[in-house]
């Protein structure tokens, strides 16, 4: 899996062809071009001659992340000659609003639906309606966890557990010496919520990997009930904070409460929203940065990128949101044609002030 993570934002070059002679290669190329044209026509058109239409329903437009996903979806739509509708609720707590969008999409009988479900259980009736209508569903980002069997044909997503583990491993390198202190030390974790599968996976992936690296007998996981595993007398406390509501002010208050603790040596924000909350909370506290508390983020966005450039944050893990959108629509086109599809791991990479301009990483860093 980590090999996949290491190449998450690279474009793969086409394999070189070899022929027995120039004449036979020319014939092969001509045949392949003809076959390619036929395939594209199938992808572009329904049997009635109309363009395929795919509805893409995201979790919201609250973060720039979704704008980058939309960019990738539009790229795929253009490449495969299909029409798409991209929409999401006002915020990532608006489950009812997302279900309204999903029901409206199903009523239009699109060729396929790409869905990043806020709450699969709440969406079950809609998902079953899509299944009964023969509309294939493709999951993206956190996908549609625990969906009915055969409801989701494939997923385009980051392996969030592995990505969270990557953040833990990189942070551990920077704080290892501080973990040997005679006095108890604290590692803070700020997460946007405890419902989204993608955020839960990268938060839990981070916590579990950090516990493994430090030693389970030395760590007490405290704070939010979703991950709590307290151990009396532990030398290291992992302090998990999650706001009651997905609001900037609530998240900043959670981050500030952790930053104010005097034994804090590091803090992790498991998505752009959480990382931004840490940055906002720090404005009045001045606790993170070089020679201070080590801060690690997840995703990108203008605010987090600036924090990493200035070394306020030591680094972050980035997904490839453009590829998430692109691969979701690509899978949807194939599924709409009745082809078998497989899950696609769209990858994740560690970046910091030193490698942000690396050609493998720069395309993944949306503002």
Coil vs helix vs strand at 108: coil
CATH class of 160-319: alpha beta
Going from N- to C-terminal start, the domains of the chain cover 40-158+320-348, 160-319
pLDDT band at 47 (very low <50, low <70, confident <90, very high): low
Residue 140: half-sphere exposure toward Cβ, Cα within 13 Å: 35
pLDDT at 253 over 80: yes
User: One fold for both 40-158+320-348 and 160-319?
Assistant: yes
pLDDT of residue 65: 83
Burial 127-144 (b: 16+ CB within 10 A, else e): beebbeeebbbbbbbbbb
Give the residue among 272, 148, 137, 255 at the shortest CA–CA distance from 198. 272
Q: What is the pLDDT of residues 162-215, one digit of tens each?
A: 999 999 999 999 999 999 989 999 999 999 998 888 899 999 999 999 999 999
pLDDT at 33 over 50: no
Enumerate residues 6+ apart whose C-beta is below 8 A from 347: 4, 5, 6, 7, 8, 9, 158, 319, 320, 323
Stretch 147-161: mean pLDDT, rounded? Answer: 94
Q: What is the pLDDT of residues 59-104, one digit of tens each?
A: 988 777 898 899 999 999 999 999 999 999 998 889 999 999 999 9
The CATH number of the structural domain formed by 40-158+320-348 is 3.40.50.2300
């Amino acid at each position: 899996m980590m090999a996949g993570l290491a190449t998450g934002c690279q474009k793969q070059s086409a394999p070189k062809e070899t022929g027995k002679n120039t004449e036979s290669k020319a014939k092969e190329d001509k045949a392949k071009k003809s076959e390619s044209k036929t395939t594209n026509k199938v992808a572009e058109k329904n049997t009635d001659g109309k363009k395929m239409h795919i509805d893409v329903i995201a979790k919201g437009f609250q973060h720039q992340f979704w704008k980058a996903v939309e960019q990738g979806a539009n790229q795929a739509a253009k490449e495969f000659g299909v029409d798409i509708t991209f929409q999401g609720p006002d915020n990532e707590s608006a489950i009812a609003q997302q279900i309204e969008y999903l029901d409206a999409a199903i009523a239009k009988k699109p060729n396929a639906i790409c869905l990043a479900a806020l709450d699969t259980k709440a969406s079950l009736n809609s998902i079953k309606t899509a299944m009964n209508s023969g509309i294939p569903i493709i999951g993206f980002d956190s996908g549609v966890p625990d969906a009915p069997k055969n409801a989701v044909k494939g997923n385009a997503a980051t392996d969030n557990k592995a990505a969270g583990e990557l953040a833990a491993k990189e942070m551990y390198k920077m704080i290892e010496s501080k973990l040997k202190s005679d006095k108890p030390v604290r590692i803070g974790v700020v997460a946007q919520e405890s419902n989204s599968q993608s955020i839960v996976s990268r938060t839990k992936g981070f916590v579990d990997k950090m516990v493994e690296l430090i030693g389970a007998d030395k760590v007490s996981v405290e704070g939010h009930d979703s991950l709590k595993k307290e151990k009396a007398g532990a030398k290291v406390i992992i302090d998990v904070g999650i706001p009651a509501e997905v609001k900037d002010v609530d998240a900043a208050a959670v981050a500030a409460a952790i930053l104010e603790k005097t034994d804090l040596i590091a803090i992790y924000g498991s998505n752009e929203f959480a990382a931004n909350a840490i940055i906002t909370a720090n404005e009045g506290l001045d606790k993170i940065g070089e020679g201070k508390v080590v801060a690690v983020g997840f995703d990108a966005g203008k605010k987090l990128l600036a924090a990493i450039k200035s070394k306020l944050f030591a680094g972050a893990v980035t997904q490839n949101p453009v590829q998430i959108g692109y691969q979701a629509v690509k899978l949807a086109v194939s599924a709409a044609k009745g082809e078998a599809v497989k899950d696609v791991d769209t990858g994740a990479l560690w970046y910091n002030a030193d490698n942000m301009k690396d050609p493998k990483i720069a395309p993944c860093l949306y503002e």
